[in-house]
Structure 1
Amino acid sequence: MTAAQAVEAATGWQARLAVGFERRGEQTVRAQCEHFGPLRVQRSLYPEGPQVCQTIVLHPPGGIAGGDRLDIVVAAAAGARAQLTTPGAGKWYRSGGRLAQQSLTVRVAEAAVVEWLPQETIVFDGAEARMQTRVELAAGGVFCGWEILCLGRTAAGERFTYGRLDLATRIESAGRPLWVERGRLTGGSSWLAAAAGLAGQPVSATLLLAGRVVDRHWLAACRDLVAPEGVLTGVTTLPEVLVARCLAPGVEVARQWLIEVWKVLRPAALGRVAVPPRIWST
């Protein structure tokens, strides 16, 4: 083993991706793409036409282990519209006691829109993980993002019996906080089964729309959606944030409900029909 390989084995993967979008005429283009370590842009597509740049973010190792740190920075200049997703599930492996971290920073300029719509995150039993999200909106900027968390590899009958997942999300508009949330999910905690906690469900999901004054009709339309069997849902608002949450027995039904919420909100708040990325079906 070389000295560099020994350091990597001791510290884990350190990776950074910075992606920037600009509007040029009627088209949104990827104007910046800088990466270090195992984070890449797989490709950018235009399934809706030139106004929206759809970008697929790839983490080639396929999972995050103890000692790994991923930093993702997304910036949309004035008037740009970007949608980012992933080609598959993110996986947080059992860490052996070492912390694994992911930091997402999104900067949205005036009249720009960023959608952050990754596929699900699977937290293996024994993972020690920290996920941080910070969104900085200029006046008139809009963010729509979701996170689908699955505790344990449920298809194999695994549950989250030990380990820890720390979560922190902060959304600001022109420096003014719109949404601040912190949480800790501890493996084996009674809170995971409590009615006031995760109610025994292995999957929890949250969608946040921020930067628009929420119309009461949007809220009513989201609440009127019929959830799949076994899925517990709730939708509420602050003056410039809509929050949709669900607890579910599996990833597929949670994603199904979130997509229906997104289909309601995207034309209403973002002025575009919701077109699911093809990568979700592959």
Structure 2
Amino acid sequence: MAADLPDAQADRDEPRGESAQPDAPHPAFEPYAAEPIPQAAVGAPGKDGVLELRFAPTEGGTKLVHDYATVPFHVSGTLGHDPHPEVETVFLQSPTGGIAQGDRHDVDIAVEADALAHVSTQSSTKVQSMNCNYAAAETALSVGAGGHLDYVPEPTILHADSRFYQGLTLDLADGATAVLGDIVVPGRLARGERFDFERYLSRVRARGPDGLLFEDTTHLAPGDADPATPGVLGEFTVYGTLFVVAPDADTAALSDELHAAVSDATARAGATELPNGAGVAVRALGDRAETVEAALHAAWDGARRELLDAPAPSGRKY
């Protein structure tokens, strides 16, 4: 659940005891961090992926002015098919089979003032099965004054026995907006995997000029607590969230609009205002990734029309 908890945040930022592993992003991952892996070491070439993107406004619209990528990231260029004529689009590619144990990924995406950008992935992110250590991805997003970023990757698929941490931080300047999407598929459902992963932890944190806007955490560990219990995922399998971060918007009206946009979706979905007037969160639950994606796309389309006066792009990846 989204929350504005600065005191809890301060507690988390305090140094932990000597037994804490410095590499662990959360106490639940400390035992994993101490486990050596038999293949290339943590942080070795090919396992320490780095991605940097920077978008800036030009006379011809927004352009990608800086990009740097190491394996497993690959940037093949930009696409100009967005319905908004000034939006620049980048689809991230990977030449590998997915995220493996010991992988550490760092992504930094900056949108300068008045620039408009859309970043997604070419296909789903597959978190492979693991027998030691864990995988982690840290994403830092920043949007300058008057800018906008759509960061809407394809779903994350958690294979059996996987252990995955992902952290995302968003920094907004005055007048900036962003749409953040995240869909989690708990296994290769066609193979009968359902909640066979070991641990999944996701943290989303958004900050504005005056400090923390909201923080949202999802922590699933099927071996400790069944995700299918009421109040967690219940009867559903696939979980998705769309954060529409727009501190200057009429969030009450936007929440009503986005709730109406998803009310007829096949997936179970709804919208609610974020704390501190930060924007709106849309949640969707379903039995298949496609139905959750469709619900969140409907909400994204509504948000795009409100914020940019243009629809969301289609789902084609070419």
Q: TM exceeds 0.5?
A: yes
If asked which structure has higher relative contact order (CA below 8 Å, sep 6+), I would say: 2
Q: In structure 1, what is the equivalent of residue 198 of structure 2?
A: 163
Shift of the 166–215 alpha-carbon distance from structure 1 to 2, 3 Å rule, reads closer
Q: In structure 2, what is the equivalent of residue 272 of structure 1?
A: 310
Match of 1:237 among 256, 261, 273: 273
Distance 2:58 2:315 in 1: 23
Distance 1:175 1:91 in 2: 37
Structure 2 unaligned spans of 5+: 1-36
Structure 1 unaligned spans of 5+: 1-5
Q: In structure 1, what is the equivalent of residue 300 of structure 2?
A: 262
Give the aligned residue type for 1:233. Answer: A
TM-score by length of 1: 0.91
Larger strand proportion, structure 1 or 2? 1
Matches within 5 A, 1:175-194: 175-194=210-229
Distance 1:277 1:228 in 2: 17
> 1:182 Cα deviation (Å)?
2.2
Residue 98 in 1 paired to residue 129 in 2?
no
SS at match of 2:41: helix
> 1:189 Cα deviation (Å)?
4.4
Distance 1:65 1:7 in 2: 12
Write out per-residue CA displacement over residues 56-88 of structure 1, whole angstroms, 9 at most, x where no aligned residue.
Answer: 111221300100111111001111000011111
Contact 1:192 1:200 in 2 (8 A): no
Distance 2:316 2:235 in 1: 32
Aligned pairs, how many? Answer: 274
Over the residues paired in the alignment, what is the CA RMSD in angstroms?
Answer: 1.9
Which shifted more, 34-43 or 248-257? 34-43
Match of 1:247 among 280, 285, 288: 285
Distance 1:157 1:107 in 2: 39
Distance 1:125 1:167 in 2: 18
Runs of 4+ in 1 over 6 A off after TM superposition: none
Distance 2:263 2:204 in 1: 28
SS at match of 1:9: coil
> 1:268 Cα deviation (Å)?
0.8
> 1:276 Cα deviation (Å)?
1.5
SS at match of 2:255: helix
Q: In structure 2, what is the equivalent of residue 43 of structure 1?
A: 77
Shift of the 138–193 alpha-carbon distance from structure 1 to 2, 3 Å rule, reads same
Give the aligned residue type for 1:271. Answer: D
Residue 113 in 1 paired to residue 148 in 2?
yes
Write out per-residue CA displacement over residues 123-157 of structure 1, whole angstroms, 9 at most, x where no aligned residue.
Answer: 11100110000001111111101001000111111
SS at match of 2:167: strand
> 1:24 Cα deviation (Å)?
0.9
Distance 1:277 1:203 in 2: 19
Distance 2:41 2:242 in 1: 36
Contact 2:125 2:155 in 1 (8 A): yes
Matches within 5 A, 1:204-219: 204-212=239-247, 213-219=249-255
Give the aligned residue type for 1:237. Answer: E
Distance 2:253 2:93 in 1: 36
Contact 1:137 1:211 in 2 (8 A): no
Match of 1:132 among 151, 167, 170: 167
Q: In structure 1, what is the equivalent of residue 19 of structure 2?
A: none
Q: In structure 2, what is the equivalent of residue 17 of structure 1?
A: 51
TM-score by length of 2: 0.81
Residue 31 in 1 paired to residue 68 in 2?
no
SS at match of 2:292: helix
> 1:218 Cα deviation (Å)?
2.4
Q: In structure 2, what is the equivalent of residue 3 of structure 1?
A: none
SS at match of 2:78: strand
